[in-house]
Structure 1
């Protein structure tokens, strides 16, 4: 027997709806970028590094709200391609990373597909959704001011 509480959560929970919407939007960008061999998470990581300059992987994870393992995995891939480099390291590992000139070029290369995905995402979200998302711009602002 379904209770009123189960119906209310299943029918109205904003958390699950936002998670599903996030996955749909991420998938839209990832499909657009797949020919470039890069995901939207990796493009955003490179953009954050480009904006911040050299910084610790922990700082990037903090700003982008990513798990340490996600940051590590993506940084490893980006470093393997030469788009990101370790600028300081010690026995404990990488201390700071930076976007390389090759990484900057990669960002420029993906821009047409990124812009197309951006337009599709805006259509999916609608005007009100885009406005709501854009009120949270402090994410990239905060990376410039640790």
Structure 2
């Protein structure tokens, strides 16, 4: 048990995740957004017409979790599911309201980013980015 307490990467990364998430959630709350919704909106804007499955893979989430988060974003009108002329895939696009929300929430995201960087230190923040960038795409 002491080995788990002292060395468990799962326990440590989940603790870090909860602390960092709470920083972003706190800053984004005045905009009616959670950190998960903000991240999803950024991903939708960046991917320009990704399917539900593509969005789930890009975020390393189970499709059911991704769909649940996406449904809130769609219901709020921050993104739209486009009905294609042919084929089964229905791309998700950011809506004008979603783009405006991302723009309005930008300063809150920057404040959260600064708080998280102060907490982690520059070396810790750089290490997190490096590890995240080295993860396999799916």
Maintained 8 Å contact 1:86/1:94? no
In structure 1, the residue matched to 2:125 is 130
CA contact (8 A) 1:83 1:99 kept: yes
Where does the alignment leave 5 or more consecutive residues of structure 2 unmatched?
A: none
**What is the CA RMSD across the aligned residues, in angstroms?**
2.0
The alignment's TM-score, normalised by the length of structure 2, stands at 0.87
Aligned residue for 1:85, secondary structure, equals strand
Decide which structure has greater strand share: 1
The CA distance in 1 between the partners of 2:134 and 2:94, in whole Å, is: 21
Q: State the aligned residue count.
A: 133
User: Is the 8 Å Cα contact of residues 57 and 72 (structure 1) preserved in structure 2?
Assistant: yes
Do 1:58 and 1:68's aligned partners in 2 also have CA atoms closer than 8 Å? Answer: yes
CA distance in 1 between partners of 2:12 and 2:105 (Å): 29
Counterpart of 1:9 (choices 4, 14, 25) is 4
Which among 109, 128, 132 is matched to residue 114 of structure 1? 109
Q: Displaced runs of 4+ in structure 1, greater than 3 A?
A: none
The gaps in structure 1 that reach 5 residues or longer are: 1-5
Larger Rg: 1
Q: Deviations over 1:102-129 (max 9, x none)?
A: 1111000101111100001111111221
